[in-house]
Structure 1
Amino acid sequence: PLRLASDRHGELQALEIELGEGHLLQACREGGGYVVRTLQHPTSTDVAVVDLELGRDADLGAALDAAGEPRELGPLIAEALAYDVDLMTEARPGDRIKVVVEKRFLGERFHRFGPILGIRFAGEAASVTYHRYRPAGGEAELYSREGEPRRRALRRSPVAFHTVAADARGLLEPTLEVITGRSGAMYRRPEGAPVVALGDARVRAVDEAGDAGLTLELELEGGLHLRYAHLSRVVGALAPGDAVRSGQLVGLAGHTGKTASDRVRVEMWREEGGEAAMLDPLFIQASGDGRPPRIGEALAGAELDRFREDTVSLGRILR
């Protein structure tokens, strides 16, 4: 595994490469260069059950602090729930989250989290439970109790989970704005906030577009087009034709172009007869039958029976 840490401008500050079990190569920025060191320790893995209740600010980081757990678990929880609830804007005080997760140790010291084995969210925005399961001949994924895949065609938000000050949380709710006849969703985010692909897509264009600043255009299956505007930078050497996967980091929020504040603006449209038919981007936060469809095959037959048998203990823990 490779782990990176960058500043809000996307500049690399540290990296860690896990060369082997318990064998690490680390490089940390110091002055004009990097200090490199290698570490080797005996490893062990434990399974932890983490029970959280969001406080008055509905802040996941604060809930992890109260539970005595590292905040590194926050992005893993948010990613597991990314198709069902946006924990930046849809979390509410009193929402409950229960997680079964692997913890990796180097010697006696906690090093990092492994995969989430099971998760339950019970809140105003959703009530969902997922169990990790590896079907025959496939990869381990999270499935609902009914054997349905977690992933949907679109995520709930184009901005990945990140830490914000408690007094700024009230400004995070996306708003609809119309500029020169083009509707878009405006997300107020600090410069450097992580912008991700809403779904599996291909890059159509990367441009400096006047008032819109630095923009990235993606095309998803079914002819749905997305444009991210006011980015401070695009992450990676993305070029037209490149494939990006749902949740992949593709840019950083900023204030390029004509805008008075740090933000990312998202536009959606379908091309019909050579014309762009603009869509309301906030439909990604629809509920009920208006939600984007699930992606992937649901478990069925003997596979579903085996899934239910293998996840009995997880189900009891997550009640």
Structure 2
Amino acid sequence: MATVVRCLSWFTQRGLLAVVCLAGCHAEAPAPAALNADIFLSPDTALIRGLVAPSTTLDEMLRAHGLSADAVGRLIDAARAVFDPRRMRAAQPFLIERTHDGGLRQFEYEIDAASFLRVTPVALGAEALRAEVLPIPRTLEEAAAAGMVDDATPSLFQAMDAAGENAELTMALARIFAGEVDFNTEVQPGDRFALAFERFVRPDRPPTYGAITAAEFINDGRLIRAVRFTPPGGRPDYFDEQGRSLRRFLLRSPLKFEPRITSRFSLRRLHPVLHTTRAHRGVDYGAPTGAPVVAAAGGTVVSATYDSANGRMVRLRHAGGYESYYLHLSAFAAGIRRGARIDQGQAIGRVGSTGLATGPHLHYGLQKNGRWVDPLREHRNMPPGDPVPSTAMEAFRAARDGALERLSSAHASAMSAVVTTSN
């Protein structure tokens, strides 16, 4: 009988989850409780769209939505040729089209904002499957924004929100100027920003951000500008108007988001657990458990260990006689083991409260030639990276002049919006 009836529907924490089965079935379909999906029926197939739930494997997700064990095995084997199923992330969209006997018509999973995995039979009814990673159709447009930190919007996040953009763009802006401005302590009312950036537009999803192509920040009356430029044979980076690099050897902070400093470097500090006065050779950043911790500079993992005082700790060795230490982690990132090569900004673990810690935070320590140094002061004293090569200055000046025009347009648009609002 071709008639299909709806057997059960309920709500999960993530929204409405609809489960269907064929007429005449004697048992309710098992609830794929780990998933959030909508199911659309045709006489021959079921089309399932949803979001991957936390702690769900690809195997579990496919079986929960009615693919046969054989189809699941063949799909995963095919996918492995182009995508590691272990990289599947929660909250990413997926699509399953299956026959009512558990066969696969197509499977899609959105890897990131730019690409998706598709697995389909090589021909209708064939058992052999084809897996591809394909670009997501989207339109690239240039956009601009500008704003000011004031009493109504006292943080950079709020000022960016008032400009019509979100926290992702805020943090990208902060990363560009992290070598020049301490965004934890130095942002104040009257500070202004403007930026030109790429935006990817899709018909089925909210826009996503591309690269910031130019930016400026006025901090306490001091103007700092950044232009994105790719030197010949190099990687895209940010430079000031004269072509000097804004990159530093050390990141300003080993946390991916705007951190809150709870304890600075000191040679005498009352230890919060032991209640004794001892040197505090590093900086403590208050952050929630699980917040990602990144390498302050590129280098090699010396150790990733646990002890009762420091908890889970990663120790990295860098060029120039530097070593950095990351204490009280809740977990190590995948691949963090002795001898592993690490890039600047690569995830090495997650914030926790292991060892002698009163709450979740990151203790970040830095040694230079075997002596403890203040990470914040050391960062401020770091020379900038390589400037634009003299052979590329003509191309850089052209990029800079175009960037400054876009920033001027951003300022004009922001001022126009202010005038319109006040009227």
Do the two structures share a fold, i.e. TM-score over 0.5?
A: yes
Shift in CA distance, 93/248, structure 1 to aligned 2, threshold 3 Å: farther
Shift in CA distance, 246/74, structure 1 to aligned 2, threshold 3 Å: same
Offset of 1:191 from its aligned partner?
1.6
Conservation of the 8 A alpha-carbon contact between 2:299 and 2:316 = yes
The one of 346, 350, 363 equivalent to 1:252 is 350
Are 1:270 and 2:368 matched, yes or no? yes
Query: Which residue type is aligned with residue 307 of structure 1?
Result: F
- Which residue does the alignment assign to 2:149? 54
- Which residue does the alignment assign to 1:279? 373
Query: Which residue type is aligned with residue 315 of structure 2?
Result: E
Q: State the percentage of identical aligned residues.
A: 26
The one of 350, 364, 384 equivalent to 1:294 is 384
What is the TM-score with the length of structure 2 in the denominator? 0.60
Conservation of the 8 A alpha-carbon contact between 1:226 and 1:266 = yes
Offset of 1:58 from its aligned partner?
4.0
What is the TM-score with the length of structure 1 in the denominator? 0.78
Q: In 1, Cα distance between the equivalents of 2:289 and 2:205? A: 34
Are 1:307 and 2:396 matched, yes or no? yes
Q: In 2, Cα distance between the equivalents of 1:261 and 1:41? A: 42
Equivalent residues in 2 for 1:118-157, closer than 5 Å: 118-124=214-220, 127-157=223-253
Conservation of the 8 A alpha-carbon contact between 1:156 and 1:284 = no
Offset of 1:317 from its aligned partner?
3.2
Unaligned runs of 5+ in 1: 27-37, 165-170
Are 1:45 and 2:140 matched, yes or no? yes
Offset of 1:127 from its aligned partner?
3.7
Query: Which residue type is aligned with residue 54 of structure 1?
Result: V
Offset of 1:120 from its aligned partner?
0.7
Greater displacement, 230-239 / 80-89: 80-89
Greater displacement, 218-227 / 90-99: 90-99
Alignment partner of 1:311: what SS?
A: helix
User: CA offsets per residue over residues 6-30 of structure 1, 9 Å max, x none?
Assistant: 89xxx9523477679976359xxxx
Q: In 1, Cα distance between the equivalents of 2:181 and 2:282? A: 20
Alignment partner of 1:211: what SS?
A: coil
User: CA offsets per residue over residues 137-156 of structure 1, 9 Å max, x none?
Assistant: 33332221111222111121
Q: In 2, Cα distance between the equivalents of 1:48 and 1:124? A: 26
Equivalent residues in 2 for 1:26-45, closer than 5 Å: 42-45=137-140
Shift in CA distance, 129/175, structure 1 to aligned 2, threshold 3 Å: same
Shift in CA distance, 55/243, structure 1 to aligned 2, threshold 3 Å: farther
Offset of 1:115 from its aligned partner?
0.8
- Which residue does the alignment assign to 2:172? 76
Shift in CA distance, 126/249, structure 1 to aligned 2, threshold 3 Å: farther
Alignment partner of 1:267: what SS?
A: strand
Are 1:223 and 2:312 matched, yes or no? no
- Which residue does the alignment assign to 2:90? 13
Question: RCO higher in 1 or 2 (8 Å CA, sep ≥ 6)?
Answer: 1
User: CA offsets per residue over residues 100-151 of structure 1, 9 Å max, x none?
Assistant: 0000011275331111101111113964211112223333322211112221
Shift in CA distance, 174/90, structure 1 to aligned 2, threshold 3 Å: farther
Unaligned runs of 5+ in 2: 1-51, 56-87, 94-108, 119-132, 272-277, 409-423
Q: In 1, Cα distance between the equivalents of 2:221 and 2:365? A: 24
Conservation of the 8 A alpha-carbon contact between 1:58 and 1:93 = yes
Conservation of the 8 A alpha-carbon contact between 1:226 and 1:267 = yes
Number of residue-to-residue matches in the alignment: 286
Conservation of the 8 A alpha-carbon contact between 1:269 and 1:277 = yes
Conservation of the 8 A alpha-carbon contact between 2:190 and 2:220 = no
Shift in CA distance, 5/270, structure 1 to aligned 2, threshold 3 Å: farther
Shift in CA distance, 149/282, structure 1 to aligned 2, threshold 3 Å: closer
RMSD: 3.2
